[in-house]
Structure 1
Amino acid sequence: MNIWILSSGLLGVFTTLVHVFAGQVDPVRPFLKSELEDIPKATLLVCWHLVSVTLIVSSLMLVYVGWYGFDSLYLPAQLVGGLYISFVLVFVVVGWYFFGSKGFVKLPQWMLLLPIGLLAIYGAI
């Protein structure tokens, strides 16, 4: 068992649940009620759910690797950790672009994504 990677995966599962359930209330429902054309609206909704799939699959992979401690899967765990760090960078850059330093508060998702990435990378070193 690798507690660092396992913790990363469990936090990822929690983050997925927050994304799927809380995300429906805050950004998704108002977005779907907007006056945006149907094609861009459908495309953005697909992107939302692609993120949902990415979050759950990567989180379950980290749980699996962490639970069984397979050394041979540490490189993929590091790559998933890097993916989450990349997600953090996207949130920081987009948040800064739209809100300046307030972006850290207005788009707080980076706070859940950062520890997932760091724990996965640390556990796989």
Structure 2
Amino acid sequence: MNVWIFSSGLLGILTSLVHIFAGQLDPVKPFLKSDLPDIAKATLLGCWHMVSAILVTSSLGLTYIGWCNSLPLYQNLVIAISISFVIFSFVFIAVGWYFFKFQTFIKLPQWILLLPIGLLGLVGAS
């Protein structure tokens, strides 16, 4: 078992659950009740669910690879997924900085879960 990659996957599954369930309450429901045009709502809701799918599938993949210790076969995939999560965290920091400056670390805390997923995966892949 590669504990680093397995831990990355488990944290990703936890993050997926937070995204799917808590995210429906906080950003999604108020967003759907907004006065935005339906095309914008449908597009953004579609993107929300695509993110859910990416979180779940990549997290399950990392968990499986870590559990089976099949890194030699999937090392490039682990690296690609891990780098993606690091980039995702930087996106939240950048977007949050644009809107909230120093308060981004409190108002958009998603980076706190995304960054460790990527870093754990990268450590396990090295």
TM category (shorter chain) comes to over 0.9
Instruction: Measure, in 2, the Cα distance between the counterparts of 1:89 and 1:109.
Output: 10
Aligned residue pairs, count = 125
Amino acid at match of 2:120: L
Q: TM-score, normalised to structure 1's length?
A: 0.99
- Who is 2:12 aligned against? 12
Indicate the SS of the match to 2:35.
coil
Instruction: Measure, in 1, the Cα distance between the counterparts of 2:93 and 2:29.
Output: 24
Instruction: Measure, in 1, the Cα distance between the counterparts of 2:73 and 2:36.
Output: 47
- Offset at residue 118 of structure 1 (A): 0.2
Unaligned segments of structure 1, at least 5 residues: none
Matched, 1:112 2:106: no
Unaligned segments of structure 2, at least 5 residues: none
- Offset at residue 74 of structure 1 (A): 1.5
Q: TM-score, normalised to structure 2's length?
A: 0.98
Instruction: Measure, in 2, the Cα distance between the counterparts of 1:34 and 1:99.
Output: 21
- Offset at residue 104 of structure 1 (A): 1.1
C-alpha contact 1:92 1:110 (8 A) present in aligned 2: yes
C-alpha contact 1:65 1:74 (8 A) present in aligned 2: no
Cα RMSD of the aligned pairs, angstroms, is: 0.5
